[in-house]
């Protein structure tokens, strides 16, 4: 369902996703479809958004919900004509996002050996979006990506 408010925000999705890979994939497909219907995006942007959504959900599912609570909260909206905002929050303890991003950057630059997958998904997301913000606790991320209006 699409909601409009007085600030011209278009809510694409708001709710919980269970920690189930199949359901996460279905939600990503549904969100991409809603974005395409709302403002129309080209195939390159559709691919980028699909990767961003998938990485954020998988990170929250895989690393964030260690307490046994399988829910991940997600809010996807378009602000104004073309700014996509995606917020994903898990119920875990969080992590030091800056430290993880710096360690991954060092690995990418060849300054440390690549022994883990830690941080790789966040680097991919960072490369595909315009802005990335974590809350202090480290269990909520908001990314922004400007989309080309196609309609």
Adjacent-strand bridge partners of 17: 72
3-state secondary structure of 119: coil
Q: What is the pLDDT of residues 62-84, one digit of tens each?
A: 877 776 667 899 999 999 989 99
Question: For 137, which DSSP code?
Answer: S
* pLDDT score recorded for residue 50: 97
Between CA 86 and CA 12 the distance in angstroms is 10
Residue 1 confidence (pLDDT) above 50: no
From the list 15, 24, 32, the residue with the least C-alpha distance to 74 is 15
* pLDDT score recorded for residue 150: 62
- Which residue has better confidence, 95 or 22? 22
Between CA 97 and CA 146 the distance in angstroms is 23
* Residue spans per domain, the chain: 3-93+124-146
- Which residue has better confidence, 98 or 33? 33
Between CA 44 and CA 8 the distance in angstroms is 25
CATH code matching the domain that covers 3-93+124-146, chosen among 3.40.50.261, 1.10.150.120, 3.30.565.10, 3.40.1190.20: 3.30.565.10
Question: Whole-model pTM?
Answer: 0.82
Q: pLDDT category, 6, cuts 50, 70, 90?
A: very low
- Which residue has better confidence, 6 or 107? 107
Lookup: tokens for 73: 């909260």
* pLDDT score recorded for residue 101: 64
Residue 116 confidence (pLDDT) above 70: no
């Amino acid at each position: 369902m699409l909601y409009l408010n007085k600030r011209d925000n278009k809510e694409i999705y708001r709710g919980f996703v269970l920690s189930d890979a199949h359901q996460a994939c279905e939600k990503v497909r549904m969100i991409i479809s809603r974005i395409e219907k709302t403002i129309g995006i080209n195939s390159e942007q559709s691919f980028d958004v699909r990767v961003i959504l998938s990485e954020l959900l998988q990170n929250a599912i895989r690393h964030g919900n260690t307490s046994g609570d399988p829910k991940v909260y997600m809010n996807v909206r378009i602000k104004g004509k073309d700014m996509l905002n995606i917020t994903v929050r898990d119920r875990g303890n969080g992590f030091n996002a800056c430290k993880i991003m710096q360690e991954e950057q060092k690995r990418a630059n060849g300054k440390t050996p690549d022994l883990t997958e830690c941080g790789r998904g966040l680097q991919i997301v960072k490369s595909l979006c315009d802005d990335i913000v974590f809350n202090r606790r480290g269990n909520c991320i908001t990314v922004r990506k400007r989309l080309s209006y196609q309609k």
